[in-house]
Amino acid sequence: MPDASDKTSENAQPIAGVRLGTVAAGVRKPDRDDLVLVELAAGTRCAAVFTRNAFCAAPVAVARESLAACDGLARYLLINTGNANAGTGARGIADARSCSETVAKASGVDVSTVLPFSTGVIGEHLPVSVITQAIPAARAALSAEGWEAAARGIMTTDTRPKLFSASVTCEGHTFNVTGMAKGSGMLRPDMATMLAYIATDAAVTRPLLQQLLQQAVDASFHRISVDGDTSTNDACVLVATGAAGNPALDSLDSPQAQALAGTVRDVCVSLAQGLVRDGEGASKFVSITVREGGSSQECLDVAFTIAHSPLVKTALFASDPNWGRLLAAIGRAGLPALDVSAMSLRLNGVLIAENGCRAASYTEEQGATAMAAGDIAIDIALARGQAVETVWTSDFSYEYVRINAEYRT
């Protein structure tokens, strides 16, 4: 077990072996930081998960290809905002490779060790010359203290950066973990427009690193939704520099690996919740917990049906305890032989429904008070088993419609 563990903090902890440089390249707007270069020390191991959207962006295809070619020993991550380089065909692939080649030549590394990432408007060709001309400045800006600037540099419609650090000490070794993420709309990661980068100074074998990342993503980014749309550009990267000096972790059976896994998960959960709190136009942060399910999957089916319901989300924005919309969402989640008379529904602790109808103790005043809060907990007990899952979402506001209606104008 860990000797000590810190809660996640928005004060970024530098990670030995990682330097970041952020500049304003002018990809879409002048005088806005929009290009981030992340340098990884030689020997750093890298794991990643990417969007499951079949129409994935060119940088996703190139990053996947390069990560396999370099056997997970990446040296640079190149991230641009303002242009997704998605829906751009063969030219998009060539453009992503061209940007990677510029970094590789300037840094004296193999091009396969440079992973490109993009986010922004879909369907427009990447302004390659604008990006490549800014790479020397990004290299000059590289700093171990560059996390906050980078977290701002990867933002698009985000209103604030998402940046968290945590540390854990176990069996005489202290591991630090720092992560940043962007995303506030087109957010239903299925691995958002979502990008996330997490780094640790622990030494970890690549297979275990991939396992740690997948488990953390499943518990965090796979448990959020702002609008139910999965981006073409989603990517989440976990790197381990090995600077902590521990023997390389290769199995989750060890206490150190368990401690590190929990810390990586905690950072990812904090980042994922930060994405929801900054959802486009969001005024409510909503936790949907479904318990007593027959399986984890049916709990998730119910939770995401609620999270994706426009009627529920607009009621949340209006602070309207329209519990009928919640019951309707539960009923259409596809659970076989659901006994509605056995389940119960609570809103911020207030019993709303039981025995298949409105609870005898419930009043509209109680519901209105519960819905007025900025953080809302929806709790459903299905009375079908022992499984429990939680999903985080936000409301739908007028501002969400405005932001997405005007996104390209």
Residues carrying an active site annotation: 193
Q: List C-alpha distances in Å: 171 to 126, 210, 246, 379.
A: 48, 23, 10, 38
CA 66 to chain centre: 22
Long-range contact set of residues 321-329: C-beta below 8 Å, sequence gap at least 24: 321/347, 321/352, 321/364, 321/367, 321/368, 321/370, 321/371, 323/347, 323/352, 323/353, 323/358, 323/367, 326/352, 326/353, 326/378, 327/353, 329/302, 329/305
Q: Cβ neighbours of residue 19 under 8 Å, at least 6 residues apart?
A: 38, 39, 142, 143, 144, 146
Select from 156, 167, 106 the least CA-distant residue to 132.
106
Backbone angles phi, psi at 173, to 5 degrees: -115, 135
